[in-house]
A and B are shown apart, each in its own frame.
Chain A
Amino acid sequence: MIRLIQGAHPGDDADILDKMFRLRAKVFNDRLGWEVKVRDNRETDRFDELNPLYVVETDEKRNVLASLRLLPTTGPHMLSDVFSELMGPESIIRSPRVLESSRFAADTELLGRLPNGLSTVTGVLLCALLETSRAAGVDFVISVYDVRMERILRRAGCGFERLCEPQKIGDVMTVAGLCETATSITDEIRARNNLTGSLFADPAWMISLPIAA
Chain B
Amino acid sequence: MDEAFYALVDAGEHIRSVTDAHQFLEKLAEHYDVRNLAYLGVNLPGPDENRPVFVISTYSKAWVDRYRARNYQRIDPVLPESMKGILPLDWRNLPPLRPAVVRFFGEAHDYGVQKQGLSIPIRGATGDLAVFTVNTDLADPEWEDFKQRNIREFLLIAFYFHQQVMALEGFKNAIDIRQLSQRERDMLWWTAEGKTTKEIALILGLSDRTVRFYIENAMTKLRCHSKAQCVAKAIRIGAL
Contacts and interface: CB of A to CB of B under 8 A. Distances in A.
B93 A51 contact: no
Nearest to B159: A96
Contacts of B154: 137
Given A74-B124, A210-B118, A210-B151, A53 B87 contact: yes
Nearest to B95: A11
Contact of B152 (A6, A9, A94, A137): A137
Contacts of A201: none
A96 B151 contact: no
Contact of A140 (B87, B90, B216): B216
A65 B151 CA distance: 32
A132 to B, nearest CB: 7
Given A136-B151, A137-B154, A9 B86 contact: no
A208 B118 CA distance: 12
A74 B221 CA distance: 12
A212 interface: yes
B216 A72 contact: no
Interface in A61-94: 70-72, 74-76, 89-90, 92-94
Interface centre among A75, A99, A161, A210 (most CB of B within 10 A): A210
B112 interface: no
A147 interface: no
Contacts of B156: 96-97
Interface in A120-142: 132, 136-140
Interface string B151-185: 11011101100000000000000010101011100
B203 to A, nearest CB: 17
Contact of B87 (A51, A90, A161, A209): A209
B98 interface: no
Given A140-B213, A161-B209, A211-B148, A92 B123 contact: no
A1 interface: no
Given A92-B175, A140-B216, A53 B93 contact: no
A94 B175 contact: yes
Contacts of B220: 94-97
Interface string B198-232: 00000000010110110011001000000000000
A52 B92 CA distance: 22
A17 interface: no
B85 interface: yes
B90 to A, nearest CB: 6
Chain A interface category by residue count: 35 or more
A139 B217 CA distance: 11
Interface string B82-99: 001111111011000000
Interface in A24-66: 50-53
B127 to A, nearest CB: 8
Contacts of B148: 211-212
A212 B151 CA distance: 12
B237 interface: no
Contact of B84 (A51, A139, A208, A209): A51
A161 B210 contact: yes
B235 to A, nearest CB: 20
A5 to B, nearest CB: 10
A81 B144 CA distance: 36
Given A93-B217, A210-B89, A211-B147, A74 B84 contact: no
A16 B128 CA distance: 29
A139 B182 contact: no
Given A90-B181, A90-B183, 4 more contacts: A51-B86, A94-B220, A208-B90, A210-B151
Interface of B: 84-90, 92-93, 118, 120, 122-125, 144, 147-148, 151-152, 154-156, 158-159, 175, 177, 179, 181-183, 207, 209-210, 212-213, 216-217, 220
Q: Which 4 A-B pairs have the closest CB atoms?
A: A75-B123, A137-B151, A210-B88, A96-B155
19 contacts: A50-B123, A53-B85, A53-B86, A74-B125, A75-B125, A76-B125, A89-B179, A90-B181, A92-B181, A95-B220, A97-B216, A136-B151, A161-B207, A163-B213, A178-B213, A207-B92, A210-B88, A210-B89, A210-B90
